[in-house]
Amino acid sequence: MVFNSVTFLLFLVVTFLVYLKASRSSIKLGNISLLSASYVFYGWWDWRFLFLIIISSITDYLIGLRISETDSARKRKGLLAISLIVNLGMLFVFKYFNFLVDTFIELFGITENRSNLIRIILPVGISFYTFQTLSYTIDIYRRQLQPTKSLVTFLTFVSFFPQLVAGPIERASRLIPQFEKRFEFNYNQAKSGLKLILWGLFKKVVIADQTAQIVNAVYQAPETFNGTALVIATILFGFQIYCDFSGYSDIAIGTARLFGIELMTNFRTPYFALSIRDFWHRWHISLSTWFRDYVYIPLGGNKKGSFRKHLNIVVTYTLSVLWHGANITFVIWGFLHGFLYIIESIISPVSKTGKKLTQFIGLITTYLFVNFFWIFFRAENWNQAKSIVYSIFNLHEAGSNSIKSLLINAGKYTEPGRMLIFVFPFFILTEILINNKDLPATIDKIPWVVRWSLYYIILIAILFFGVLNSAPQFIYFQF
């Protein structure tokens, strides 16, 4: 079940009405209704994977209670180790087993038919909910959090359906107290939630899914396209992945607000970043802050000298890359970001209070670097990524096809072409208006005539330019 489907719309209406009724009886009954709906939502893909999230949740619920009850440092470390082994063990098996098998076969030159090998399916959202539940036990171990006594509350915290499969990765200290309060419908909160849902759908079905048709056509046969076409396709992929992932986050945050729950902001117009460091303060914020708080700072952060600081950055980026998956292209993508981050830390990144010209140069160079790095994130393998880079810099003879020929000669791509002409300027202008600010609050400040005009423009764009038939999944579901 995906957000951009009629099925989810029906599911959301029924879930909200049931929750509204149940929460009037008691907090616990309201949470039970949310928990049940969340399990239905997750089980829609494959009900068998429900056992994984239940095992992870119950394990950390019990371990959290035991850690808080004992003062023995040895026992506390042992209990935390169990939590780490269970959660990271499941994540490792389901995410990296196939990669390890394939690597073993390649190393030893095994030629046996691979169709006979065991292949493990990656459960949707496992990278997100394992990190969310891990933060719970780690915070209790650090004595920064008291465990909840309610199993229902904890299970709801782990499986809350709006952010279950692609975040934001929430902290228990922020989310659990919200599930322990009686729900009171708030019109203004719900209204701001609906605005975020509308904007998120626009970004997903209009921008991301339309640009995907062009990007996929080019990246499926990059050797047939010239360097200019590859540059344009890569830039479009930058918009695709941003609108796809941030669109999911907007819908998740907006949906949660309907239920009186505030989730953390996960994106803040990252393409207006002035440096790579600033980019990661704006992009997938919940993951960036997770690695900062549970990896970078425990390693010593920037408090143990320049060498250790840079080493800690490398370790943190390496682990964040592995979170995305075991693929050499992801490793290169992460290495490039980490390397540039270190260079910036040495020469000092562009300040938000610096000169306008310096800020402009920082914005342009950061945007160009980030988009260049996307080549390695999008490419299927190292050879394809290398070929694309060579073609862009004209280091070998490239294909003759261009974006123009793709749009003119292939009828199915005329829709994305029109979208680029009519919708993209509106999207860019809106991003400039929002820049690092809250969308609903920003919209509320403009005159009502302009505000309602924006709503209608977005609705019309969704209906006329949106990819509504196939309901493509979100890119980060694969992580």
Read off the pLDDT of residues 20-36 as tens digits, 9 standing for 90 and up: 999 988 999 999 999 99
Q: With 90 as the cut, is the pLDDT of residue 166 above it?
A: no
Average pLDDT over residues 40-69: 90
Task: Give the pLDDT band (50/70/90) at residue 418.
Answer: low
Task: Indicate the SS3 state at residue 111.
Answer: coil
pLDDT of residue 151: 94
Buried b (16+ CB within 10 A) or exposed e, 272-303: bbbbbbbbbbbbbbbbbbbbebbbbeeeeeee
Side chain identity at 111, as an amino acid letter? T
pLDDT of residue 408: 56
Tokens of 57: 């949740």
Task: Give the pLDDT band (50/70/90) at residue 358.
Answer: confident
Which residues are the active-site residues? 324
- Domain layout of the chain by residue ranges: 6-184, 188-274+369-478
pLDDT of residue 28: 93
Radius of gyration for the alpha carbons in the chain, expressed in angstroms and rounded: 23
Give residue-wise pLDDT tens across range 283-308: 999 999 999 999 988 888 778 777 88
pLDDT of residue 11: 95
Give residue-wise pLDDT tens across range 377-398: 998 888 889 888 888 887 555 5
Task: Give the pLDDT band (50/70/90) at residue 41.
Answer: very high
pLDDT of residue 328: 82
Q: How far apart are CA 248 and CA 70, in angstroms?
A: 40
- Of the given ranges (97-106, 214-223, 449-458), which has the lowest mean pLDDT? 97-106
- End-to-end CA distance of the chain: give it in Å, rounded: 17
Q: Mean of the per-residue pLDDT values for the chain?
A: 85
Residue 169 DSSP class: -
Task: Give the pLDDT band (50/70/90) at residue 374.
Answer: very high
Give residue-wise pLDDT tens across range 107-125: 655 555 555 555 666 677 8
Average pLDDT over residues 154-182: 92
Average pLDDT over residues 246-263: 94
Highest mean pLDDT among 170-174, 403-407, 435-439: 170-174
- Of the given ranges (67-76, 168-177, 374-383, 464-473), which has the lowest mean pLDDT? 464-473
What percent of the chain shows pLDDT beyond 70?
88
